[in-house]
Amino acid sequence: MPSKIEADLRFAATASTGGVAGRKMLANRQAAQLPAIAMSIAEVAAALGIGRTSIYKAIAESRLETRKFGRRTLILTASVLRLLEETSDAD
């Protein structure tokens, strides 16, 4: 079984050789390391364990910050964390 260093070196060698496979490997590796800065309404509802109606209500009350991309509405993760802090402060 290869060590972590060997696996990283093999990955770097494969990704640096170019080609579609190398670029895909690099993109997948980078995507896995990026934190989610925005989530869909369904993802936020699932993460918080509340219904979509409650999410829409929080958006209408400006308690959640959104961005539109075409028809898709994304909620900024930072605003979800702020909402959780507000809710825990109220208790």
CB 80 within 8 A of CB 64: yes
Distance CA 70, CA 33 (A): 26
Instruction: Mark out the alpha helices in 1-91 (DSSP H runs).
Output: 4-16, 19-33, 41-48, 52-60, 77-90
66/62 Cα distance (integer angstroms) = 9
DSSP code for 35: P
Q: 3-state class of 74 per DSSP?
A: strand
pLDDT in single tens digits along all 91 residues of the chain: 555 555 554 555 444 455 566 566 666 666 666 678 999 999 999 999 999 999 999 999 999 999 999 999 999 999 999 999 987 776 6
